[in-house]
Amino acid sequence: MPNFKIFQDNPDYARIKIYGNNNIPFNTDATGNLGITSEGLAVTAPVGGLAITPPSEGMTITSTGLAVTAPANGLTVTAPASGLSITPPTDGLTITSTGLAVTAPANGLTVTAPASGLSITPPTEGLLITSTGLAVTGTLSTTLATTDVSTVIANITDIDGSPDATYNVLGIATWTFGVVNESTEDNAQALVKLQLSPDGTNWMDDVSYTTINQNSLATFVATPFLKYARLYYAAVNAASAVTLNIFFQGQTS
């Protein structure tokens, strides 16, 4: 090309190169994409917060590509009023020391729950917390879980007796059976006893038969601790049908 000797011998000179305000050219990787390093990128969240939505296949952040350094007084993450939700992908979320290191400040890491409370739901296989990873001091308040089941058994005339439903009480700290005789016939008495079993097959009488008169209440509490419990009931007189309202109430923790 006449009169364009530089371009003819060095066509690379015809390319446009972009420089920053510090007179350093922008960097690209081997495929031509713009390379961003932790030394060249500053992210400042707006007043309303910063939302990062990973793609459907997940997002991977490695220490070689992004470095997050907490200030001297620690790193604070403040959730919005609607709460902070972190949802791992279906195959789980793994944080390793080689990919992400979270170091608490000298005075510890503080998590402050909002006024509505902090809810932590463990996965189906359970949540393991060790003392080396978490120290809890002060007053811990928990809501006790309870169980309350009631069943009405009507028109009992069998004087030989039969068992009621079997309850697995292994995970229940405190429990009691309450039985109300709600028979409408005069002198319709019931005989009720408590039975226990370690396997649901072999049963023993923990409390012998207790006579429950019409419109009366009796309670049954076990002395030994075995996995299964049930009531065994019978009518005193086959001619007087009995109606029993059986309650099973317990506190699981």
pLDDT at 130: 54
Alpha-carbon gap, residue 14 to 143, rounded angstroms: 73
Regarding pTM above 0.75, the answer is no
pLDDT at 145: 79
Q: Which residues contact 193 (CB under 8 A, 6 or more apart)?
A: 205, 206, 207, 208, 209, 210, 220, 231, 232, 233
Mean pLDDT by 10 residues, the chain (253 residues): 60 69 72 61 60 65 57 61 62 52 58 68 60 52 76 93 93 93 90 96 93 95 94 94 95 76
**Residue located via tokens 């509490």:** 221
pLDDT at 173: 87
Alpha-carbon gap, residue 99 to 96, rounded angstroms: 5
pLDDT at 86: 63
What domains does the chain contain, in order, with CATH numbers? Answer: 146-251 (2.60.120.510)
pLDDT at 77: 62
Residue 135 DSSP symbol: -
Alpha-carbon gap, residue 31 to 148, rounded angstroms: 66
